[in-house]
Amino acid sequence: PSNAAAGQQGADFPRITLTDNVWAQRMLLDQLFGPSWQLRLVTGWSMGGMQALHWALVFPEKVQSILPFCCTARCWPHNFVFLEGVKAALQADSAWRGGRYTQAPERGLRAFGRAYAGWAYSQAFFRNEQWRELGFTSVDALLDYWELDHLEQDANDLLCVLATWQSADPSVLAGASSLKDALARLSARAIIMPSSTDLYFTVEDARHEASLMPNAELRVLESDWGHCAGGPGRSPEAMAQVFSAMHDLLAS
């Protein structure tokens, strides 16, 4: 939304699905490499992982293996509800003006970041003060960082990403009659790697999805870092588990 063409800027930006993103990426690869490329591994964290799953769902012939971590293939209802909460926090700022803001909704962006922080890590992460490993000296300092980090973002960009995330549902892919039907087509070798303490992309949901895929292994990422276990470079122990799974997929 923030750098879109005229007529599609800001609040006028169209709704984008993960399938749209995957198609755009495919078109780019076609232009760069011609028609015969193959992907050995598609991987990603969070929405990047949802996208990896969509790669294998939308273009099964192009993808050999996937490693989606800290994510699920669809946005399950509790995940949807949590996102409604942080959205509401942003939109409570009257400067938001339905997306037609003339100055950044600063209070809303701060509230978004602050409300998000409780979801991003696990209860144990806070209990054990693991934020110290990120260089913070207090919980307040962590929350301040989350506020400032979101102040740098454009509100419409942020909400656009959330809408894509919330719309994720493989069962709406062409010709699939249900989630079960859609995931049964996922032939790529997959390691499905939810974080053991992720509060919104839960192990239970990931396990259920993996059970519907013909060639998937569920391998839980054991970590107290919650969703942020998969945050690149944040937790060395978690990263080691991710890299090990990548190695297994690429070696086979």
Order of strands across the sheet that contains 189-192? 39-45, 63-69, 189-192, 216-218
Residue 85 interacting with a second copy (CB under 8 A): yes
One-letter amino acid at 196 equals S
Contacts of 39 (CB under 8 A, 6+ apart): 55, 62, 63, 64
Out of 54, 205, 227, 235, the active site residue is 227
- Pick from 124, 151, 161, 218 the residue near a second copy by CB under 8 A: 124
The span from the CA of 176 to the CA of 185, in Å, is 9
Based on the residue annotation, tell me whether 46 is a catalytic residue of this protein: yes
Q: Which C-beta is closer to a second copy: that of 65 or that of 105?
A: 105
Q: Which of residues 144 and 248 has its CB atom nearest to a second copy in the complex?
A: 144
- The pattern of x and - marking residues 137 through 166 that bind a second copy according to CB under 8 A reads --x---x-----------------------
The answer to whether 154 touches 1, Cβ cutoff 8 Å, is: yes
Q: Which stretch binds a second copy (CB under 8 A): 54-62, 70-78, 161-169, 244-252?
A: 70-78
CA distance 43 to 13: 27
d(CA 151, CA 106): 6
Residue type, 205: D
- How many Cβ atoms sit within 10 Å of the Cβ of residue 220? 16
Q: Which of 72, 122, 156, 223 is the binder for a second copy (CB under 8 A)? A: 122
108 binds a second copy (CB under 8 A): yes
Q: Which of 93, 198, 205, 224 is catalytic?
A: 198
Compute the C-alpha angle 170/74/108, nearest 5°.
130
d(CA 220, CA 188): 19
Question: Is 94 part of the annotated catalytic residue set?
Answer: no
Q: Does 235 participate in catalysis according to the annotation?
A: no
Residue that is written with structure tokens 């993996």 in the block? 210
Give the range of 22-30, 32-40, 123-131, 167-175 binding a second copy by CB under 8 A: 123-131
Buried b (16+ CB within 10 A) or exposed e, 21-53: bbeeebeeeeeeeeeeeebebbbbbbbbbbbbb
Task: Give min distance, CB of 35 to a second copy, in A.
Answer: 41
- Span from 78-86, 156-164, 172-180, 238-246 in contact with a second copy (CB under 8 A): 78-86
Does residue 80 bind a second copy (CB under 8 A)? yes
> Near a second copy by CB under 8 A, which window of 19-27, 167-175, 200-208, 229-237?
200-208
Q: Does 101 bind a second copy (CB under 8 A)?
A: no
Nearer to a second copy, 59 or 82 (CB): 82
Residues that bind a second copy (CB under 8 A): 76-78, 80-82, 84-86, 88-95, 107-108, 110-111, 114-119, 121-127, 129, 139, 143, 199-200, 202, 204-205
Give the catalytic positions in this structure.
46, 198, 227
